Amino acid sequence: MDFPEYIIERFWSRVQLPEPEKYVDECWIWTGSREASHVRKNYGIFKFSINGIQLTYRAHRLCYELYHGEIPDGLHVLHECDNVLCVNVNHLWLGTNKDNVDDKVRKNRQTYGEKSGTAILTNKDVIDIYNYCMNTNESVSEIAKHFNLRVDHLKRLIYGKNWKHLYQNLTEEEQIKIRSVINSKFSNCLNEEIVRQIKYVDSKTMKYSEMTKKYNVAQNTIYNILSGRTWSHV
Ligand SMILES: [Zn+2]
> In DSSP terms, which residues pair with 57 in a beta bridge?
46
What is the model's pLDDT at position 119?
42
- Examine the pLDDT at 117 and tell me if it is beyond 50: no
Alpha carbon of 155 to ligand 1 centroid (Å): 27
Distance 113 CA to ligand 1 centre (A): 18
Using the mean position of ligand 1's atoms as its centre, give its distance from the Cα of residue 144 in Å: 24
Helix or strand run (H / E) with residue 137:
none
* pLDDT-wise least confident of 51-65, 146-160, 180-194: 180-194
> Distance from the CA of 92 to the center of ligand 1, in angstroms?
8
Question: At residue 116, does pLDDT exceed 60?
Answer: no
Mean pLDDT across the stretch 119-141? Answer: 81
Grade residue 222 by pLDDT with cuts at 50, 70 and 90: confident
At 54 the pLDDT is 92
- Distance from Cα 145 to the centre of ligand 1, integer Å: 23
Q: What is the whole-number distance in angstroms between the Cα of residue 173 and the centre of ligand 1?
A: 41
Dist. CA 25 → ligand 1 center (Å): 8
Span from the CA of 93 to the centroid of ligand 1 (angstroms) = 11
> What is the 29 CA–ligand 1 centroid distance (Å)?
8
Assign 187 a pLDDT band (cuts: 50, 70, 90): very low
> How much distance in Å is there from the Cα of 24 to the middle of ligand 1?
9
- How far, in Å, is the centroid of ligand 1 from the Cα of 18? 11
Tens digits of residue pLDDT in 75-94: 889 888 888 999 998 888 88
CA–CA distance, 188 with 138 (Å, rounded to integer): 5
Q: How far is the CA of 80 from the centre of ligand 1 (A)?
A: 7
Residue length of the chain? 234
CA–CA separation, 81 and 91 (whole Å):
6
Report angle CA 79, 83, 84 to the nearest 5 degrees: 80
